[in-house]
Structure 1
Amino acid sequence: MAERYPLPDLNELPEDIRTRILAVQEKAGFVPNVFVAFARRPAEWRAFFAYHDALMEPESCGRTSSLTKGEREMIVTATSAANQCLYCVVAHGAILRIYEKKPFVADQVAVNWRRADISPRQRAMLEFAMKVCQRSHEIEDADFTALHAHGFDDEDIWDIAAITAFFGLSNRMASFSGMQPNAEFYLMGRLPREKKASA
């Protein structure tokens, strides 16, 4: 399936957006399609990525969190699978494999997180994230108590819920627009990088 909306020309984008996209390309070696697809509406792009960065890179806005980068990606991968978002499962699953240094973990989390090779703490985190994803109206104090038992504080719990909710929006935008995962994502983190031969 092809994208339903034409991608904007990178050279015609506002300078701040083009600069950020080129920086991502420099770091990753390619431009994830979401960066270009959302840029068709610059104001929405800026708002989306500002919230994305605040949630996924809290240190960039002077905030700390006990959630690791891998755990954040784990939440995205599991809840995106529940929302049947191909783009986010493939893209964030790739990042999850890299952060966790486990080539199988993204597939496990996406297909059946209850059977995945993750810690009891991470399983409790995903239990809560999936409830926020699918039945947020049923959240109760007992859910907080269960997470506190695994060392999460109330700010961490906010993070789990906010990441889940934010990517619920992302999932729906990617799916309705026909956004496709970049081919590069499929193989990322599946095989160990070859070590450079020493001179």
Structure 2
Amino acid sequence: MMAAISRFSVPETIDELPDDIRRSILSVQEKAGFVPNVFLMLAHRPDEFRAFFAYHDALMERTSDTLTKAEKEMIVVATSARNRCLYCVVAHGALVRIYSKDPLLADNVAVNHTVADLSDRHRLMLDFALHSAIELGEFSHAWQKRLAEVGFTLDDCWDIGAIAAFFGMSNRLVTLAGTPPNPEFYTMGREPRR
């Protein structure tokens, strides 16, 4: 038996959605081969769907000279794991595996990045992400200095904090809705493509 996508109403078909949202969902489906459940869950409120994905894309698709896609996804996984958000750990864990080409990295980050086999740069990045999203989040001069010492720019610091904060909100919404991860996410990036 398949779990419900949301405790809240979702469209019976994507044809019921506004044109722009339907196009967004179809574009993701074409790339991924399936529709991630979070898209359907957020379609419950079209204006919020648009705002959510506009900010998501601004953060996650922004080009950075120093912060990679894999690193951004590691921030999402660490934050989501701390918030116990199964959907985001599984879905973004798949992206960590794909972008890093490391089938073990996402699991290590999700379980406990402080003991995982990570570089000092990545460990500090995730420490700061969790500080930003879970703890007080104050961005002190000491944090800035430590992050600069491992190569993060001031813009990177903004990105790390903003991604962690954004996904803290995303984690809460997914948990509120009871949205399960798509089964496809569990196996993505675990074996090299043939």
TM-score band w.r.t. shorter chain? over 0.9
SS across alignment from 1:189 = coil
1:39 matched to 2:47: no
Alpha carbons of structure 1 residues 15 and 189: separation in structure 2 relative to 1, 3 Å: same
Q: Count the aligned residue pairs.
A: 190
Q: Which residue of 2 aligns with 1:27?
A: 31
How far apart, CA to CA, are the structure 1 residues paired with 2:136 and 2:161?
9
Question: CA contact under 8 A between 1:39 and 1:45: conserved in structure 2?
Answer: yes
Q: Which residue of 2 aligns with 1:103?
A: 103
User: In the TM superposition, what are the counterparts of 1:11-160 in structure 2 within 5 Å?
Assistant: 11-59=15-63, 64-160=64-160
Contiguous gaps of at least 5 residues in structure 2: none
**TM-score, normalization: structure 2?**
0.94
Alpha carbons of structure 1 residues 179 and 58: separation in structure 2 relative to 1, 3 Å: same
How far apart, CA to CA, are the structure 2 residues paired with 1:162 and 1:136?
14
Once the two structures are superposed, residues 94-137 of structure 1 have per-residue CA deviations (whole angstroms, 9 ceiling, x without a partner) of 11011000111111000011122322111111111011122134
Alpha carbons of structure 1 residues 107 and 137: separation in structure 2 relative to 1, 3 Å: closer
Once the two structures are overlaid, the 10-residue window that deviates more, 74-83 or 125-134, is: 125-134
How far apart, CA to CA, are the structure 2 residues paired with 1:164 and 1:137?
10
Contiguous gaps of at least 5 residues in structure 1: 195-199
**TM-score, normalization: structure 1?**
0.92
SS across alignment from 2:79 = helix
Query: How large is the Cα RMSD of the aligned pairs?
Result: 1.2
Q: What percent of counterpart residues are identical? A: 58
How far apart, CA to CA, are the structure 2 residues paired with 1:35 and 1:137?
29
Question: CA contact under 8 A between 1:58 and 1:65: conserved in structure 2?
Answer: no
Question: CA contact under 8 A between 1:94 and 1:186: conserved in structure 2?
Answer: yes
Write the letter of the residue equivalent to 1:156: D
